[in-house]
A and B are shown apart, each in its own frame.
Chain A
Amino acid sequence: MLAIETERLTKFYGAERGIEDVTLAVEQGEVFGFLGPNGAGKTTTIRTLLDLLHPTRGSARLFGLDSHRDSVAIRGRLGNLPGDFGYGRATSGYEAVALLARLRGIDGAPRAEELARRFRADLHRPLGKLSRGNRQKVGLILALFHRPELLIFDEPTSGLDPLMQEEFLALVREERERGCAIFLSSHELDEVERVCDRVGIIREGRLIAVERIADLLGKTQRRVSVEFAAAVDPADLRAVPGVADMQTEDGRISFRVTGDIDPVVKAIARHPVADLELSHPTLEEVFLTYYEEGAN
């Protein structure tokens, strides 16, 4: 069953575009990364899924249920960490957990305490007296303590120190193993690359790509740097289809390859090779490439 399914989901704020024609699907047990810079429409998409915003047109279904009509039933099965988590300055994390547990009709204390130990979160101090990172830990606990079937995170590691970021990523993997679907909106490309199965890239309110992480990294540009044992005319390589941005420095030739790598390898193999480096782009480079292409 699909955890999330949107069909041409569109939200306008008056005449101003929020998101437009966003169609995507997230399966149960999948970690879906949602990438885009500030203002691209990530939070609008999430808030529309959560029925906090009503779509201008299109539809969203969670667990096969309508995101607006069945929102109460849906919210019983999901956990959400808002982008700018806040609750109330005088309330402690423990009080917040107790209230949300009662509203959910469960005893959330054991799991909340387990998570608090894991994140080294202080549930007894008022939230207003906690640092941003420590408040974020409480937000994570509130999203996770009831063992939801779907987790929606909007910039979840914002404010967390590197150790806690690692702990968070480990927890995401555990939740996936448990069968939970995770919708992870972020501009921390490194964490998306490490835990997500697929990624959607949103630009100016439109979803411009949905790919498996491995495919995304594999099918796009590679960087090649080769040092030949003897002098080679760079024009031999420049003529190979897909080769671009060639640079020559101290006998080393570097260039980008788009598409099939095989003709490049064969062209290089015609000469004695002293050293060869082939690197895949980082997700950040891929992301920027998509953005440049989208802009063009």
Chain B
Amino acid sequence: MTALVIAQLRERRRSLLAWGLPIGLMSAFIVAIFPSVQDALAKAVSDYPPALKEAFGISELSTVEQYLDAEMLSLIVPLAAGYLGVRSIASALSGAAESGRLDVLLSVPLSRRRLVAAGFAATAVELSAVLAVSLLLTLFGSLLGSAGLGFGPALAGFANVWPLALLFAGLGVVVTGWSLRTAVVTGSVAGVLVAMYVADLIGRLDPSVSGIRYASVFRYYGKAIEDGIDPLAFAAVTAAAVALAALGALLFERRDISV
């Protein structure tokens, strides 16, 4: 199985450039310009309507960590990483079915469960690598702009995205148990990703419907760059991702391999 994980990672090495580079450069830019926009930001935020600040979890933007969280880690990075997660697992399973590769891989003594496990493990490593590249570029941007971003908070902020993105990969495995069309897998899970984000947002904006936030993984995402990682939420979301992948593996085992 390790051989399959390594082979899949080798094939996806370009995603470090395709995903890690843009996310990292964008974050680096945000961090690097912070010292020059810091004062203007503080004034602008103080004028924001309270409901807007509550919705986006903005209390103030007086530190580079708060600014990075508001600009990148509360929306762009989790949505992008979540999409990368499902795209990656879809490439390993439904994409492989569409290209004919799955027929070849399932001609060797490899169970479908192990095939799913290898794809999920490769996705987990790929997400880690993309987030690590993004983190390193962001820290580099902080150095260039003398923004003073702390390594610990930045690490916590980016690391906290990993279980969330992995959850959508796990959801992708479940959908693969139903359809082996990549467009269906990525499209439906991306829809759930956006729906969960919007549900969490609405729940925060309107306290009367705050209950819907429990249906969203973003409810458990938090602000790790400011508050540190919540170990319980981190472990629970990771466990949920693994459980979804395991359920998906069972469904995948029972389905026909035909696109």
> Which residues of A are in contact with B by a Cβ distance under 8 Å?
13, 47, 50-54, 71-73, 75-76, 78-80, 82, 84-91, 95-96, 99-100, 102-104, 139, 142-143
Contacts and interface: CB of A to CB of B under 8 A. Distances in A.
A79 B4 CA distance: 19
A82 B108 contact: no
B99 A75 contact: no
A99 B7 contact: yes
Interface string B243-259: 00000000000101110
Given A54-B256, A84-B100, A103-B3, A90 B109 contact: no
Contact of A86 (B3, B101, B110): B101
B13 to A, nearest CB: 10
A254 to B, nearest CB: 48
Interface string B94-130: 0010011101111111110000000000000000000
A46 B111 CA distance: 18
Contacts of B227: none
Interface in B72-103: 96, 99-101, 103
A88 B101 contact: yes
Contacts of B256: 52-54
A103 B4 contact: yes
A72 B111 contact: yes
B257 A75 contact: no
B111 to A, nearest CB: 5
B11 interface: yes
Contacts of A89: 99
Given A52-B258, A53-B257, A86-B99, A99 B4 contact: yes
| The 7 A-B residue pairs with the shortest CB-CB distance in the complex, in nearest-first order | A86-B100, A76-B109, A102-B3, A80-B107, A52-B257, A82-B103, A103-B108
A71 B108 CA distance: 10
Given A53-B257, A82-B100, A86-B101, A91 B11 contact: yes
Contacts of A91: 11
A79 B100 contact: no
A95 B7 CA distance: 9
A75 B106 contact: yes
